[in-house]
Amino acid sequence: MASRGRGRAVPPVGRGGSGGGRGRGTSRGGFDSGRGRGGRDSPASRGGSDAGSRGGFDRGRGSGRGGDRGRGRGGGTFANVPNIFNPSPNQALGPRVASIIAEGNKALARLQGTRSGPERPLRPAYGTAGTPIVLRANFFPISIDKDRFYEYSVEITPEPKSQKGRVKRRILDLFEQTCAGAAVKSYVVHDGAGRLISARELPQPLSGTVSYYEAEDNGPSQRPTVYEITVTYTKDLLLEPMKRYVTGDHASLNEDEEIKPVVSALNLILQRKASQAGYRVGRNRFFYDDEERGVLGPRLIAYMGFYSSVRPVQNQFMVNVNVCMTAFHEPGKLSDALMAFGRGSFGAIPREFMSKVKVSTKHLGYTRKYTVKRIVGGKTAASEKFKCDEYGGGVISVEEYFKRKYNVNLQHGRDLPLVDVGNPGKPTWLPAEICEVQPGEPHYGKLSSSETQNMLRLASRRPAVNAAHIVHQGLPKLGLTGQAASPVLKEFGVTVSDEMAVIPARRLAPPRVTYQKGTPNVSEGSWNILNVTFHRGAKVKNWKVLVVVDGPKDPGSQPRFPGGSQDAKLLDFLEKFRAKCSSSGMVMPKCSQIEGVRLVGGREDPGRVRSMQMLETTMGKFASGAAAWKNVDFVLVLLEYRDDYIYPCLKRLAAVKFGVHTQCMQLEKAMPPDPKKQDQYLSNIALKVNTKLGGINHKLDPQAMQWLTGKPTLLVGIDVTHPGPSSIAGTPSIAGVVANVDRDFVQYPASLRLQPSKQEGIAALSDMMVERLQAYRATSKVLPERVLVFRDGVSEGQYDKVIVEEVPQILDAFRRVDAKNPRYRPTLSVIICGKRHHARFPATAEADADRNGNTRPGTVVDRGITPVFEFSFYLQAHAGLQGTVRPTHYVVIYDERSPGLGADEIQTGIHSSSYLYARATKAVSLVPPAYYADIVCEQARYWIHGFLNRVDETSSTSGDRASETGSARAKRKREEAESQVYEAAERMWGSGLHPNLANSMFFL
C-alpha cells in the first residue's frame, strides 16, 4: 500500500486491525422507503460522438450506463397469486374491529380534560367521515411477560482507529466467544457499539479481552490488536410506563425519557437474529443471500430484504415488518467492477459508483478491510509516484512499490485508476486489482435511468404478494415467529404474533372537479381532460422554440428535422401544440422564432462543458437584456433525450441567467406513432404551460373548499434537499418555501435559499415566510388570517426540532411582514407530511381493492396502528399505478386554532386538496403545497448541479502536496476546503431565481 508522505511510504497501521472508513449507512437508490430527500447523486456520464448534418436538426440516440434487465432470482411471476391476501368478509373480522374502536374510544375518553397546548396537540377525536372498511396492516402484535429489562454500557479500549461501527460490532462478536461473554450470550443483545440489554442481571464487574481478527481469517495474526471490554450496569428499564402510554394514560406523557429506551431495547431484541444472519443496512433493514434478487446493471444487484421496527400503538406494542429492495455491489474484484463500469459509460471515471464501498485485501498476509473514499481519473499505479525512504529515498511508482514490497505483479497498472482508502488530507492509494468488494455492500449512489427502470420492475409487486412474503418468509427470516424464532425472544419474555393486524379504515368520497367548460367524471382518483376548457387560460404573446440535437448518431439514421427551422414536420408538430393550448382555453399565437443547436458528443466533450456553452450562446439569440427577455413568455425546448448535464444546464440558464419560462419535451414522447397518445401528451404539457404562465386549469366545488375559504388562508409547503454522498464536500443544502397567492389555492410561487450542507433546519425561514406573506397580500389584497404549514422531509425524531427552531421563525415573520400593523397575528398550524415510512394496508375484500389489489383512492387510517396521543393519520388520496401503494403519514405537531383542527376537517380537507395539483388530472399522493416544495427544491438543484454531482478533487488534493498529520490540522484543512466549495456554489447560484420568474410556478 503506498501513500504520498513526507519522503517515505506509509506502511499499514494497526496490524491485525481494521482499515479506515465509515460504517454502513442508509443505502441510496433503493425503493423501500419512498422518495429520498437526502442525497441525490449524479448518474454515470452519458454521451457519444456524432457528426453534423447538412442544414437540418439531426437526431441521435443516447445511451448510458446500464446492463441486462435481469430476471429476479426466485421471484418468477405472480399470476397465480390471489388478488387479496388472506381474504375475509368484513363481518368475520367485525368483532376484532369493534374491539379496536371501543378501546380507542376509551383511551380518548381518558384524555378528556387533559391540557393540550399548540405544541404536539393531542388527538381530538378519530375521524368518522367516509365509508367504513376493514383492512390489514403489516404490523404484528407483541406480547411481553416481563416487567423490566436491564441496561448496561460497554466500554472498549483502546478505541478503534477506523471503521469504528463495524470494528466494534466485530469486537463484541469476538467477546461473545470468550468465557465471560459466552456465559451471558443467550440472554443479552447489544447495538454493536456501547449499549447492551440483558434479560437478567449480569455479574459485576463483567469484563474480558479479545485479540482482533476478521471473520474471513482463521484466527489472530502474530501481533494482533488486543481490546479490553468492560460491561457496566446503567439502569433498569421498566416496562410499566410504556404500557401506560399505549393505553392512553395521560400521566405517561411526562415519561418520554423512560419510554424511548424501552422501544430501542425492544428493537435490539427483535433484531438479534436478523443482525447476525443477514446483511444489515442502516438500523432496520436486513438482506439475505437466498432472497430474491435481480440484475440492475454492470456489477449491480437488487436484493430483496425486510424492514423491522417496533412501534408503540393503540393499546399494545407492534412490530412493523415490510419488504424492501436495495441495490448492492456484486462481490468480486474491484478491478472487474471498474472495467464493467467503463465499458458501459464510454470510459467515464466511476467517481461515485464505488463511493463508500468496503473492500478487503490479502497482500499483507492477512485480511485487511478498507472503505473506498474516492477514485480519481489520471492516477494509475504506473503514473503515481512518491518519495520512498524504505528503498533508498528515491522516487518510486505505486506499481514498482507493490512489486518490490509485496511481490505483486499488477496487470492493470497503466489502465485502471488508483483507489484512495486514506484519511482526509492524506490519501492512501491501492491498486484496484488487489481489492475484493465485500459481500453485502450497498450502492450509495444514484442509479442510472436503465438501472432505475430495472429496480422499479423488480420492486413492483402487488400487495397480496408482499403480504404473503412478509408472513411466510419475512417473519421467520427475521427470527420473529415459529420454529425459526430467535431463542433470545424467550429469554426476554417476548412473543410476536404471526398474523397481520386487522384495522378499521374509511374511504373518503372524491370532490367534484370543475372547469370553465366541461365537467369531467372523477373515477379512481383521476379524470380525462379531453374536451374541457381551463378555468383561466393564460394569454401568450411571444414564445420561442429551441431544438437541441444531441446524442450519438446511429450510422445511416436520418435527421428528424432535415429542413431545419422550416422543416414541414417540425412546423406541423408546433401547430398541433399551439392548437392544443388554444383549444384548452389559452390565447396562443404562432411561435415567433425557432433556433437549433447541435451539441458536441459526450466522447469529445467530457462533462459537456462545450455543449453547455453552446446552449447558452443559442438561447442568447432569443433576446438581449433583461427587458427583452421579459417580453418572452416561454421557450419550448425540444430534446432528443434528457441528458444528465444538458437538462440541468437548460433549467439553470432559464431560471437564473435569462429569467424565462421553459417547457421541455422529449421528442420520442411528443411525436409517437399513435395520434391519441400524442394528443394526451400535448394536453398534459398544456396543463404545465398554462399554470407556469399564471393560468388556472381546474378548481374544486365550493363545498370541498369550505375548510379553507371561510377565512383568508395561506397554505405553505416547506422542504430541504441535501447534497448526496458523492457531492463535493461543502456543497450547500437548498431550502424551499412555496405558498398560495390566490384564494383558489392554485398558484404557489416559491422562495429559495442556500444553507450549510446537510442542515435540516432552515436558517432563512423567517425571510422566506415574509416573502410569501407579501406575495399573498399583493395578489389577494389582504394578509391571511390562518396559516397552515405542510413540512416535508422530517423524520419522527425531528418533530420537536421543527417546533423549537422553525415555528419561532414563522412567528417572527408574522411580526415583521407589516410594519404598520405589528400586532398582525394569524393562527398557525404545522403538519408533517411523511412518505418515508413502511406502513402498508392490504385490502381484506375485493370490493375495497382495485384490479391490482391496492386500496382505492381516499383510503384513510387513523386507528389500530397509530399512537393514542399523537394527532396523526395515514391518507392514500391517489391510485396506485404499479406495485404496492404507499399512503402519506400526516402528523399535526403544532396547532394554535381554538377549537383546534378537527379530525374529519383535516383528513377530508387534505384529501380534497390532493385533487388540486395543477400539472395532473388525478389526485396526488402528497398534499400539493408539500409536493410543490419538493419539486422546487429539485429544480434548484440544477442551479448548482456541478457541485452536487461531482466528486471534489480540489479539496482533497491538499493531501497530495503535504503530509501534514494530526486531526486538528486535517480538520482545519477540510473545513477551509468545504468553505471554499460553499463560496463557489454561492457564486454559481448568484442571486438565485431571476426576478422575472419570482411570482410564478416556474418549477412545474
- Grid coordinates representing 758 are 446537510
How many CB atoms lie under 10 A from the CB of residue 816?
15
Q: Is 865 helix (H, G, I), strand (E, B) or coil?
A: coil
pLDDT of residue 115: 67
Q: Is 487 helix (H, G, I), strand (E, B) or coil?
A: helix
User: Considering Cα of 155, then 160, then 165, then 166, what sign does the dihedral take?
Assistant: negative
pLDDT of residue 355: 72
Mean pLDDT for each 10-residue chunk of the chain (1004 residues)?
A: 36 34 34 36 33 38 36 47 81 82 88 80 95 97 96 95 87 89 92 94 94 89 91 96 86 77 96 90 92 89 96 94 95 90 60 79 91 84 90 90 93 91 82 93 84 91 96 96 93 96 97 92 91 94 96 66 91 97 97 94 78 95 90 96 87 97 96 94 97 97 94 97 83 96 97 86 94 98 98 91 97 95 95 96 94 96 94 97 94 94 97 97 98 97 84 38 52 86 94 96 97
Distance (Å, rounded) from C-alpha 213 to C-alpha 205?
A: 25
Q: DSSP states of 22-36 as a string? A: ----PPSS--SSS--
Q: DSSP states of 365-388 as a string? A: SS-EEEE--EEEEEEETTT-EEE-
How many CB atoms lie under 10 A from the CB of residue 470?
22
pLDDT of residue 350: 61
pLDDT of residue 627: 86
Partners of 301 in beta bridges: 295, 328
pLDDT of residue 109: 85
pLDDT of residue 32: 36
Strands 374-380 and 385-387: unpaired
- Grid coordinates representing 219 are 484466527
Strands 39-40 and 713-723: parallel
Distance (Å, rounded) from C-alpha 373 to C-alpha 351?
A: 9
How many CB atoms lie under 10 A from the CB of residue 499?
12
Q: What are phi and psi of 66, to 5 degrees?
A: 180, 170
Is 244 within 8 Å of 259 (Cβ atoms)?
Answer: no
- Grid coordinates representing 245 are 402510554
pLDDT of residue 45: 32
Q: How far apart are the first and last CA of the chain?
A: 51
Query: Which pTM was predicted?
Result: 0.88
How many CB atoms lie under 10 A from the CB of residue 473?
17
Partners of 561 in beta bridges: 57
pLDDT of residue 950: 59
Domains (range + CATH), the chain: 143-328+450-500 (no CATH), 332-438 (2.170.260.10), 537-693 (3.40.50.2300), 701-951+966-997 (3.30.420.10)
Peptide bond into 431 cis (omega under 30): no
pLDDT of residue 395: 93
